[in-house]
Structure 1
Amino acid sequence: MSKNTNKLLIVLAFFAIYVIWGSTYLLNKIAVAELPPFMLASIRFTVASIFIFIIAKIAGTSLKITKKQLLNCSIIGFLFLTFGNGGVVWALKFVDSGFTALEISAQPLVVLLMMYFLEGKKIKPMSLIGVIFGIIGIYLLVSQKELIKQEGMALGMLTIFACMLSWAYGSLFVAKANFPKNYFVNTGYQMLTGGVMLCILSLTFGETWTSPTNWSAPVLGSMILLIVFGSIIAFTAFNYLLKVVSPEKVATSTYVNPIIALLLGWYVLNEQITTQSIIAAVVLLTGVYFINTKRKLILFARFKK
């Protein structure tokens, strides 16, 4: 493969994790306005898993999995998809898509604090600055009285935070658990088990399932985009980038996704962007930068010497 081809693939992959992942908040918001949230998420991940398995088989990849690996995939499927994503889709019934993405941008902060409290991992000086910025940013975001007063807004924000805790714990679990070596197969089983559990959750809550033939064009289009682009293409691009560029560059999606979501929500759905939300976004993303960066504070480095 030529260098030009590699460069083009890298550019397309970054476009996928920047724009496609950033647009999934809008797509879910459009779909959940008409479809029950757990049904929506269940169909998305179950169908995506079937396509992933088909692609894997065409590529000659074995789908074999041990009982332990299947159990681990089920646990992650629940933490990341059933509770983590299903809860966010449910919250989108009450919370704007851009606001949701902005709140979720604090995820690195939640992971860092969970590692500190559960694993006793020390927080480095740069990360500590990030934590301070993150806490201030979250406070600025959730303390907007004009937004909190909206029906279901407070409950939606609390639900999103609970989902962030689920993702954070899942991130720690992934680092230690045994999974299939092939990331495509691994993702397929996570999506399948997560989708099945979402189906059970949907039926438990008595959600009414409808045929895609009865969906409106915007909802049907959103679901197709979520399955093909959000669940399959963007994730493949993410894993491709992890192999060919540094993790720090891949992590830049954390800064871009909420901006894309905010702009799309404002442009397509006329969602309100307050001045305080913009300030909160700047503070939050600054905190995420300090948490993700591997650079050391000059003051602390000199002190150590």
Structure 2
Amino acid sequence: MVAAAFTIMCLIFGTTFLVIKVGIDAGLPPFLSGGIRFAAAGIILLIVLRVTGRAKLSLLLRKETMISGAGLTFGTFAALYWAEQHVSSGIGAVLSATGPLLIVLIQSLLLRQKVSRRSVIGCLAGFTGVILVMIPGIVVDISGLWVLGCVVILLGEICYSGGAVYSKHVTEKLAGTNPIALNAAQMVHGGLGLLVLSLLTETWQFSDWAPVPAAASLLYLTVIGSMVGHSLFYWIMARTNPLFPSTWLYISPPIAVGLGVLLYGEEISLISLAGVVLILGGLIFMNQTAWDWLRRKAALLAGNKVLGQKNKVID
């Protein structure tokens, strides 16, 4: 179940960098676009969960969801949305792939947690692969704003990494709470923060928007990117660890390359193929322990199910 959820999440997130760029190019102010996306997704999810009795609106009043929202949503996506005005979606994907590496650094340097050599090697291999994947297709026009955009994305990834580590603490502290509800609450806080930032810094010129691509971008990112993708992220993290679900950041660039080949007839070089292999190899190597744990858990559940059926037959 976790493996299937992880695959779907990677496929979704692999498209979001490009869709964000589509919305911005259609005239949407970046902070407004991100704010609408996350606030709407979080509110809709919370209402559905409240009606079905699986969440309480009081989650919005907890400091844990406020802090998670500040890191995972507000800090991360304020940086990414703003930066994609000045850098390509490919560069955004490359720089965002530093997330898992930063999580390892936070766990080892700040939290003094023991991090395996396997995790460090896997992170470095994956990030190297990301660079190889994107090198042939990226033409960088070096400028002050381009450099600033890159720095801002990296700062956003610090927020993302800190939020991911803290969110694992939140899921453990609020163990009886639906993880999707926790995700919805943090998205509401992050989205509202982005909307406030938009009110303070942006001008909303509706006449300048290209309505069809703008609306399509918002709809896709709200429903598929946030309501489905980010809920899967939180659900997976609650069942594994902060690092494992974050490795989707290594999968998104190969997906972007694949979409280019299939939809636009772009060519893929041997360097890109080598990068894909290195990314997947680093991912598998880094998460071998997690996969072994999941396989043992699945085998245990299957064994318990068979035992239960046998007992039922005996009864």
Q: TM-score, normalised by structure 1?
A: 0.76
Q: 1:293 aligns with which of 279, 288, 303?
A: 288
Aligned-residue sequence identity (percent) comes to 27
Gaps of 5+ in 2: 291-315
Checking the alignment, whether the CA contact within 8 Å between 1:38 and 1:199 is kept in structure 2 is yes
Question: How far off is 1:141 after superposition?
Answer: 8.3
Question: How far off is 1:251 after superposition?
Answer: 6.8
Show the 5 A alignment for 1:88-103: 88-103=80-95
> Structure 1: which amino acid aligns with 2:104?
L
Q: Aligned pair in 2 of structure 1 residues 254, 265: CA closer, same or farther (>3 Å)?
A: same
Instruction: State how far apart, in whole Å, the 2-side matches of 1:110 and 1:203 are.
Output: 31
Q: Aligned pair in 2 of structure 1 residues 288, 155: CA closer, same or farther (>3 Å)?
A: farther
- Does residue 1:258 correspond to 2:250, yes or no? no
> Structure 2: which amino acid aligns with 1:197?
G
Q: 1:87 aligns with which of 69, 79, 82?
A: 79
**Helix, strand or coil: the match of 2:157?**
helix
Question: How far off is 1:199 after superposition?
Answer: 1.2
2:185 corresponding residue in structure 1: 189
- Does residue 1:174 correspond to 2:167, yes or no? yes
Q: Let me know the Cα RMSD of the aligned residues.
A: 3.8
Show the 5 A alignment for 1:1-305: 13=5, 16-33=8-25, 34-65=27-58, 70-133=62-125, 136=128, 147-151=139-143, 152-177=145-170, 178-179=173-174, 181-205=177-201, 207-210=202-205, 215-238=210-233, 253-264=248-259, 282-283=277-278, 286-294=281-289
Instruction: State how far apart, in whole Å, the 2-side matches of 1:28 and 1:226 are.
Output: 8
Question: How far off is 1:210 after superposition?
Answer: 4.7
Q: Aligned pair in 2 of structure 1 residues 188, 240: CA closer, same or farther (>3 Å)?
A: closer
Gaps of 5+ in 1: 1-6, 296-305
Q: Aligned pair in 2 of structure 1 residues 129, 97: CA closer, same or farther (>3 Å)?
A: same
Instruction: State how far apart, in whole Å, the 1-side matches of 2:259 and 2:49 are.
Output: 33
**Helix, strand or coil: the match of 1:176?**
helix
1:299 corresponding residue in structure 2: none
Instruction: State how far apart, in whole Å, the 2-side matches of 1:96 and 1:230 are.
Output: 19
Instruction: State how far apart, in whole Å, the 1-side matches of 2:107 and 2:244 are.
Output: 22
Question: How far off is 1:52 after superposition?
Answer: 0.8
Question: How far off is 1:65 after superposition?
Answer: 2.4
> Structure 2: which amino acid aligns with 1:35?
L
Checking the alignment, whether the CA contact within 8 Å between 1:26 and 1:265 is kept in structure 2 is no
Instruction: State how far apart, in whole Å, the 2-side matches of 1:162 and 1:32 are.
Output: 20
Say which structure, 1 or 2, has more relative contact order (CA 8 Å, 6+ apart).
1
Instruction: State how far apart, in whole Å, the 2-side matches of 1:234 and 1:60 are.
Output: 22
Checking the alignment, whether the CA contact within 8 Å between 1:38 and 1:86 is kept in structure 2 is yes
Checking the alignment, whether the CA contact within 8 Å between 2:12 and 2:229 is kept in structure 1 is yes
Q: Aligned pair in 2 of structure 1 residues 96, 264: CA closer, same or farther (>3 Å)?
A: farther
Checking the alignment, whether the CA contact within 8 Å between 1:108 and 1:291 is kept in structure 2 is no
Checking the alignment, whether the CA contact within 8 Å between 1:212 and 1:220 is kept in structure 2 is no
Instruction: State how far apart, in whole Å, the 1-side matches of 2:131 and 2:248 are.
Output: 23
> Structure 2: which amino acid aligns with 1:150?
I
Q: Aligned pair in 2 of structure 1 residues 202, 50: CA closer, same or farther (>3 Å)?
A: same
Q: Deviations over 1:255-296 (max 9, x none)?
A: 43221133336766899978766655654554444333329x
Q: TM-score, normalised by structure 2?
A: 0.73
Instruction: State how far apart, in whole Å, the 2-side matches of 1:45 and 1:251 are.
Output: 19
Q: Between Structure 1 and Structure 2, how many residues are aligned?
A: 284
> Structure 1: which amino acid aligns with 2:166?
F
> Structure 2: which amino acid aligns with 1:57?
R
Q: Aligned pair in 2 of structure 1 residues 172, 286: CA closer, same or farther (>3 Å)?
A: same
